Chains A and B, each alone.
Chain A
Amino acid sequence: MAEQHRPVAHPVDSRRSFLTEALAIVTGGLATLTPVAAGVWAFLDPLRRTKAAASYLPVTELAAIPDDGLPRQFPVIADRVDAWTGFAAEPIGAVYLRRAKGSDTVEALSATCPHAGCFVEMESTGKCFRCPCHNSEFTLDGGIVAPSPSPRPMDALECRVAENGGVEVRWQKFRAGVADKVEQ
């Protein structure tokens, strides 16, 4: 197995040596960076997927919301696309709707906690909302009950009542954990 070690040629010309080094680095770098760049390019794809503008979705009818000022939870149903799968009429979230005595206007609150996105629920006493994750408490109109981990009140959603009594909510999502209500 003994091999003869032959002498290595030492380039005398240091300018040529620098050129070779630089070229080696650039060539090798280009070769390796190509797959990296292709990977990163595809990986960043979600950044260019902006959400379609929020639209009004029919949620229920006016008669289904008793006019007692107490919020009721309703699922929001819509078609949904998840990457390559299309879902027809699926529950995609929930809203709380309420209306005051004798009033025809409906207030809508998103059930998504503005703190970190858990599902806010009505407390069993029916007196307030409470998020089960970090105990943020909200009044029935969505206001913050201090002290609260949540940086802002529950997110109100735009809501309108159509002529046929259908209640429609503009389904939006907002960034969690910030004081301002910024659409996501």
Chain B
Amino acid sequence: MKHTNHGDAVQKGVFGRLADFFDDRTGYRALMHEALYERVPGGARWRYVWGSTLVFAFMTQVITGLFLWASYSASAQTAWESVYYIQHEMAGGWLLRGIHHFMAQAMVVLLALHLLQVVIDGAYKAPREVNFWLGLILMMLVLGMALTGYLLPWDQKGYWATIVATNLAGIVPGIGPSLQQLVIGGSEYGHHTLTRFFALHAGFLPGALILMLVIHLSLFRKHGLHAKQPITKPDAMFWPDQVLRDAVAMLAVMAVVLGVILVPALRAMLAGEPVDVGHLGAELGAPADPSLPYAAARPEWYFLFLFQFLKVFEGWGATGEFLGAIVVPGLIMGVMFLMPIIGNWKLGHRFNVAFTLGIVAGAGLLTAMALNEDYYALWADKAALADAQKLYDETGGDEEKLAAALGGDKAKITAMEAKWEKLEKIRHSQAFLDASKQATLDAARAIELAGRPEKIPTAGMLELVRTDAKSQGPRLFAQHCASCHAYVDPQAAEAASVIAKASAANLHGFGSAAWMRGLLDPDQVAGPAYFGNTAHKDGDMVNFVQNELTDTDTWKKDDIEAVVVAMAAEAGLAGEKAAEPLVAKGRELIASDERCGSCHRFRDNGTDLGTACDLTGWGSREWLVGIIVDPTHERFYGDTNDRMPSFGKAPEGGLPRLTRAQIELIADWLRGEWYRPAVAAH
């Protein structure tokens, strides 16, 4: 110590003395001075703010990341669940996660800007080569963090995007398969994929990043700012002029991020709609399900160009994938690393600038292509393709038939084929849009279920979704029932055509009074919505409805209505109401051996089973499960069963087509029985 302040200490206040105490022991004043009084050639400028905004973005990620970490749990049964809790239940969780999510995207944008500026200004040249290389490494680390972070919520989109990314790692020659196995922590995706990705995302990568950043910044200080020529103004100090500019830029970045998060809320408020903060900020998809196709699988937007790039090598087979995923990106990075050396040649700098701009333009173009493919159906002129669609439907897309239909006219055929290609693009795009819509619905349902008062079971969210009649019913129905049965609201616009195509009854509203009224309607019973397209078309029931129910002497209007409501009462669907006396009257009619009871068993009316369905508990859960398990049972169609398989009956030592649980899901779904959140009191 050359000099101490002991002598002045007497005149200083307590804070001054404290500051002296620490300065004596640490020399922090000199450090601060060095940090703040960096020379800025030509004075403070806005164009110098980019590097600082990047550091700021990273700091934001560290801060929000640490707080997210405090609530996140990395395992296949808790990742989605804990992120759900952060997003939808914790106060301020949506904001924290929203900032982390969108700042990551801002960081990628800022990185691109920073890199562009460095290359265009030639700031990579001697003596700053090493710092340029460090910058490139930093860029890769940031992209690595983006990639690993995408998986952590363990939702469908992160899961499928990661499958693609890790499979691509697997094609690296030689070490690929081992690399892949190490990254996913085994041969299947699961707990250890998450723990490893999390360790990379929150430990290894940021640790390496901080190390590199410290060197990057100290080298930056060592070489000084790369000033943009010509310098017209006098030099100034970093503090406070440049710091102020940097701070304004940081606040602007944060404002943009907050804007992205809050704009939907603002819109809702202006429209007078309630704002659910859980839906602000980063979205959370349905929980990852390896057995559920996810046709909306896409990486985060800034990786879309890489994703699209793989399609460029269509038809190249394995070589194409290798080129697209590994060789070309590797070469591009290689050229970037060589830039400081290339820059020494006469035209080197121009080459570097052109190359970088070319890459940016190429990435932009690929991104646009990817978006155009996905959203094409939104802006394609479908009216202009109506004739092509018609022809496509008529010929079934067969090119020979097309040639015949157009009389072999070459020009017309080529024109039509071009239109068919557009139609195909629309189809693909529509499939993506539909899948995205379905994904949104699935996500909303999962979130609704997670919010049940019973909370999420130990087995995790996936189990809850898989046992949810509302989400599984339509899928099971589509897979096992819809090849014969329709399920469409008769009031819907397209109902008639859907019903006409089905070869068995329309089960929409099965068990309701409305459904029963249709069955007992002589005009409808033999129509396609009931028995029209089945073997029962000329059966006893149709015969009865058309010939006996029409006899108004025996069957008064009131009688029929009484039967209708009594049957609906057997099903007991929620929301069906009927006057008790009418139901009682209906029950009597059904049981009576002069009326329905002459064929149908009903409660204890003593009619033998085997001639017609048992109407006891018709449409109830138990009854529905029973008929799906085995329609050939004497309680149901017996040996008059048309084509309906016995879904729950297993062949000797084999598996039934549907498990009991699956059948119950279908029955519950048909009956509209599933969890509904209580409507909030006003």
Complex CA distance for A126 and B584, rounded to whole angstroms: 50
Q: Are A116 and B164 in contact (CB under 8 A)?
A: yes
The interface on chain A, measured as residues whose beta carbon lies within 8 A of the other chain's beta carbons, has a size of 61
Given the interface pairs A134-B310, A178-B318, the reply to whether A61 lies near B655 with Cβ below 8 Å is yes
Complex CA distance for A58 and B315, rounded to whole angstroms: 36
Q: Is B435 part of the binding interface, using a Cβ–Cβ cutoff of 8 Å?
A: yes
Complex CA distance for A130 and B296, rounded to whole angstroms: 13
Q: Is B553 part of the binding interface, using a Cβ–Cβ cutoff of 8 Å?
A: no
Kindly name the residue among B167, B297, B432, B657 whose own CB sees the greatest number of chain A CB atoms within 10 A: B167
Chain B residues positioned under 8 Å from A151 (CB to CB): 317-318, 320-321
Residues of chain B in range 421-440 having any CB-CB distance to chain A below 8 Å = 427-428, 431-432, 435
Complex CA distance for A73 and B479, rounded to whole angstroms: 8
Q: Is B76 part of the binding interface, using a Cβ–Cβ cutoff of 8 Å?
A: yes
Q: Is B39 part of the binding interface, using a Cβ–Cβ cutoff of 8 Å?
A: no
Kindly name the residue among A2, A76, A111, A147 whose own CB sees the greatest number of chain B CB atoms within 10 A: A147
Q: Are A82 and B191 in contact (CB under 8 A)?
A: yes
Shortest distance between the CB of B464 and any CB in chain A (Å): 14
Complex CA distance for A80 and B462, rounded to whole angstroms: 15
Q: Is B234 part of the binding interface, using a Cβ–Cβ cutoff of 8 Å?
A: no
A-facing mask of B317-339, CB < 8 A → 1, else 0? 11011100100000000000000
Partner of A93 from the list B290, B296, B325, B651 (CB cut-off 8 Å) is B290
**Could you say which of A18-26, A30-38, A39-47, A101-109 contacts chain B?**
A39-47
Q: Are A92 and B297 in contact (CB under 8 A)?
A: no
A-facing mask of B300-311, CB < 8 A → 1, else 0? 000000010011
Given the interface pairs A73-B479, A164-B652, the reply to whether A82 lies near B188 with Cβ below 8 Å is yes
Q: Are B428 and A135 in contact (CB under 8 A)?
A: yes
Q: Are A124 and B431 in contact (CB under 8 A)?
A: yes
Chain A residues positioned under 8 Å from B171 (CB to CB): 176-178
Q: Are A64 and B645 in contact (CB under 8 A)?
A: yes
Chain B residues positioned under 8 Å from A61 (CB to CB): 651, 654-655, 657
Complex CA distance for A43 and B290, rounded to whole angstroms: 25
Residues of chain A in range 151-184 having any CB-CB distance to chain B below 8 Å = 151-152, 162, 164-166, 173, 175-179, 184
Q: Are B657 and A148 in contact (CB under 8 A)?
A: no
Task: Please name the residue on chain B nearest to A76 by beta carbon.
Answer: B291
Complex CA distance for A158 and B432, rounded to whole angstroms: 31
Chain A residues positioned under 8 Å from B274 (CB to CB): none
Q: Is A51 part of the binding interface, using a Cβ–Cβ cutoff of 8 Å?
A: yes
Given the interface pairs A61-B655, A151-B318, A176-B171, the reply to whether A117 lies near B163 with Cβ below 8 Å is yes
Q: Is B653 part of the binding interface, using a Cβ–Cβ cutoff of 8 Å?
A: yes
Chain B residues positioned under 8 Å from A59 (CB to CB): 655
Partner of B397 from the list A94, A125, A165 (CB cut-off 8 Å) is A125
Complex CA distance for A149 and B483, rounded to whole angstroms: 32
Chain B residues positioned under 8 Å from A76 (CB to CB): 291
**Could you say which of B107-115, B176-184, B543-551, B673-681 contacts chain A?**
B176-184
Residues of chain B in range 360-378 having any CB-CB distance to chain A below 8 Å = 373
Residues of chain A in range 89-127 having any CB-CB distance to chain B below 8 Å = 91-94, 111, 115-119, 121, 123-125, 127
Task: Please name the residue on chain A nearest to B189 by beta carbon.
Answer: A82
Q: Is B168 part of the binding interface, using a Cβ–Cβ cutoff of 8 Å?
A: yes
Q: Is A63 part of the binding interface, using a Cβ–Cβ cutoff of 8 Å?
A: yes
Shortest distance between the CB of B661 and any CB in chain A (Å): 10
Q: Is B185 part of the binding interface, using a Cβ–Cβ cutoff of 8 Å?
A: yes
Q: Is B190 part of the binding interface, using a Cβ–Cβ cutoff of 8 Å?
A: yes
Given the interface pairs A61-B655, A176-B170, the reply to whether A132 lies near B432 with Cβ below 8 Å is yes
Chain A residues positioned under 8 Å from B188 (CB to CB): 80, 82
Q: Are B653 and A164 in contact (CB under 8 A)?
A: yes
Chain A residues positioned under 8 Å from B182 (CB to CB): 43-44, 46-47
Complex CA distance for A2 and B313, rounded to whole angstroms: 71
Q: Are B651 and A164 in contact (CB under 8 A)?
A: yes
Q: Are B310 and A82 in contact (CB under 8 A)?
A: no
Q: Are A146 and B315 in contact (CB under 8 A)?
A: yes
Q: Are B318 and A94 in contact (CB under 8 A)?
A: no
Q: Is B160 part of the binding interface, using a Cβ–Cβ cutoff of 8 Å?
A: yes
Given the interface pairs A63-B645, A151-B318, the reply to whether A116 lies near B397 with Cβ below 8 Å is no
Complex CA distance for A166 and B431, rounded to whole angstroms: 34
Q: Is B24 part of the binding interface, using a Cβ–Cβ cutoff of 8 Å?
A: yes
Q: Are B655 and A117 in contact (CB under 8 A)?
A: no
Chain B residues positioned under 8 Å from A63 (CB to CB): 645
Complex CA distance for A126 and B122, rounded to whole angstroms: 56
Task: Please name the residue on chain B nearest to A180 by beta carbon.
Answer: B318
Q: Are B297 and A132 in contact (CB under 8 A)?
A: yes
Kindly name the residue among B1, B321, B479 whose own CB sees the greatest number of chain A CB atoms within 10 A: B321
28 A–B contacts, CB within 8 A, in A order: A1-B1, A47-B182, A49-B187, A83-B192, A116-B321, A117-B167, A118-B297, A119-B294, A123-B431, A124-B431, A127-B397, A133-B160, A134-B307, A135-B373, A146-B315, A148-B315, A149-B313, A152-B317, A162-B653, A164-B651, A166-B654, A173-B187, A177-B168, A177-B170, A177-B171, A177-B325, A184-B177, A184-B187
- Closest 4 A/B residue pairs (Cβ): A147-B315, A91-B291, A82-B190, A132-B295
Give 17 new A-B contacts, CB below 8 A, not counting A82-B188, A117-B164, A118-B164: A46-B185, A46-B192, A61-B651, A61-B655, A83-B191, A91-B291, A118-B163, A119-B292, A125-B427, A127-B397, A132-B296, A132-B435, A149-B310, A149-B311, A166-B653, A176-B170, A178-B171
Q: Which residues of B contact A (CB under 8 A)?
A: 1, 4, 24-25, 76-77, 160, 163-164, 167-168, 170-171, 177-178, 181-182, 184-188, 190-192, 290-297, 307, 310-311, 313-315, 317-318, 320-322, 325, 373, 397, 427-428, 431-432, 435, 479, 483, 645, 651-655, 657
